[in-house]
Structure 1
């Protein structure tokens, strides 16, 4: 199996954000499995509030940061979206980042890792995110990777405090790999339009 290009898209820009640890963990786990993984962090991307989608710019006229991010998305084989739960929904920074693009996601699978400070691990946000990702053309795999009490699950570098996370992530990533390889092979034969 050849290495995959995987984007780990994180969703929070809050000052004391804890979910970045889960995102770092997933990047490291993807790399350990032989893939190329890149963290997309809205705090670093600094996208403006959505006014114009990438596709609404004339070719070559999009702002440099938007152009660079579009290229990364187009080159990806799969996406892992790491989302907290804000008021039973997804963070606004994540929605803003995702909504800047559309066709760039098409024909590639996504996977949802969700988290919260409490016991439910962000699964309510994941259900809303599942519908959104499908609408964007990057349907999510059936499995989720919920992380309850995210503040206690990983250290600052993303190393798990409980090794069970590596086992759970292994199953989660194995499923994403299967879908990513299947869709990658199908894209080589052409897409519906």
Structure 2
């Protein structure tokens, strides 16, 4: 049997806009955009999962998915250690060589948190363990990237080449070691049936 996975990137919040290694509530415009997209998915028959972050939980709520959404620790964003709460430019100014090493080598974690390779392995294990059926998951952008990289057996460095837009849907269909990908569909009412394919 086949897994049909719809990964939804969260709506915009201040941390995403500022390239800050942090979480936080949705911006008013991000919440309004998610509420406007609430009819885009009809989750009848789907399992609904969510990253434990505030922005992902609030996105699921605004999309009308929160009643059925199950938080999953395996879908948490990359643990950023001492960089948590800092903007990318602040890290570059304070720890330029460490940031350069982190950007160049997915196996490193100079911040004392989780490496990008460890993130991809964690998300990959979750992906390979999914039961057949339709799953909708509102996830952090780095989790979405890690799932795509794992599913397509790409090099971990490809994480930097993927740029999910807020409130876009990425579809993976298949099962262990054999996945197909449909990228970056905007969540707009009237496209719900497309998400089931």
Larger RCO (CA under 8 A, 6+ residues apart): 2
**TM-score, reference length from structure 2:** 0.36
**TM-score, reference length from structure 1:** 0.36
